[in-house]
Amino acid sequence: MNSFISWIGGKKLLRKKILEQFPEDYDRYIEVFGGAGWVLFGKEKKGMEVYNDINSDLVNLYRCVKFHPETLQKELDGILMSRELFFDFIQNARGLTDIQRAARFFVAIKESYGSGLDSFGVKPKNMKKAVDFLSLASERLSTVVIENLDFEHLIRTYDRPGALFYLDPPYYETEKYYPDRFQPEDHTRLKKTLDEVKGKWILSYNECPEIRNLYDGYTVISVERPHNLATKSDSKKYKEIIIKNF
């Protein structure tokens, strides 16, 4: 199934190729850099599943979709979107309940250009359809553990021989989109953490010599995808790599 949101760096267009790499033999699945969770929503339900992201607005939205879909849908029914409200929503509003905060964040993602949360997208959206879909998303998330941890802490907590991690970190040289959350030196911290993992892992990255050098010795698979915001006439392809430890 599809995710209930789109997200910068979301793997909607690459998830088929990522899922093709999944092994048969795992009993827990951990999506470390969750975002919109396109791979989680695309995979079969199996064993214990964990969604994680360090962004607390996003994790609050996931928790509200999982535990209170109807209350969230009711809150969303009362929101009529406009450019003025969009800019109000992306300001840090204090004194909101978790449901109100989740509703504002959901609308801001839906209404921003390319889900970037910084400019109002002018394309009309079918908000009713998006809100109705939250019930299905809630059902899929009902057995998923939701975490809000830094990747290193999360990996060490859930690692064991039967684990399968999927990791989609901020791409090399895109760290500026994740201020305070992911620094350039975190690519090396991630590699060091992954070197010690007892389970299996699959990692996606942009194609670049720095990441190829960093993961020298692991299996690296080259893949291509269209641009996430591509129009029908734009046939330009982007090169990415999938790295794995098995």
| 146 part of the interface to ligand SAM, by CB under 6 A | no
Question: Binder to ligand SAM among 10, 30, 104, 110 (CB under 6 A)?
Answer: 10
Count of residues touching ligand SAM (by CB under 6 A): 19
Shortest separation between residue 38's beta carbon and ligand SAM, angstroms = 4
| 55 part of the interface to ligand SAM, by CB under 6 A | yes
Pick between residue 9 and residue 69 the one whose CB is nearest to ligand SAM.
Answer: 9
Shortest separation between residue 233's beta carbon and ligand SAM, angstroms = 25
| 181 part of the interface to ligand SAM, by CB under 6 A | yes
Are 224 and 237 contacting, i.e. CB atoms less than 8 angstroms apart? yes
> Which residues ranging from 22 to 51 are in contact with ligand SAM (CB under 6 A)?
33, 35-38
Q: Element (H or E) spanning 30, and its range? A: strand 28-31
Listed residue (193, 222, 180) closest to 205, CA to CA: 222
CA angle 130, 167, 29 (to 5 degrees): 80
**Residue 174, Ramachandran bin (φ over 0: left; ψ between -120 and 50: alpha; else beta):** alpha
| 207 part of the interface to ligand SAM, by CB under 6 A | no
Pick between residue 11 and residue 66 the one whose CB is nearest to ligand SAM.
Answer: 11
Question: Binder to ligand SAM among 4, 51, 151, 165 (CB under 6 A)?
Answer: 151
Pick between residue 38 and residue 158 the one whose CB is nearest to ligand SAM.
Answer: 38
Work out the burial of residue 61: count CB atoms within 10 Å of its CB; fewer than 13 is exposed, 13-18 middle, 19 or more buried.
buried
3-state DSSP assignment of residue 45: coil
Pick between residue 85 and residue 230 the one whose CB is nearest to ligand SAM.
Answer: 230
E strands, 156-234, in order: 163-167, 200-206, 219-226
Residues 6+ apart with CB under 8 A from 41: 1, 2, 3, 137, 140
Contact residues: ligand SAM, CB under 6 A: 7, 9-11, 33, 35-38, 53-55, 150-151, 168, 170, 178, 181-182
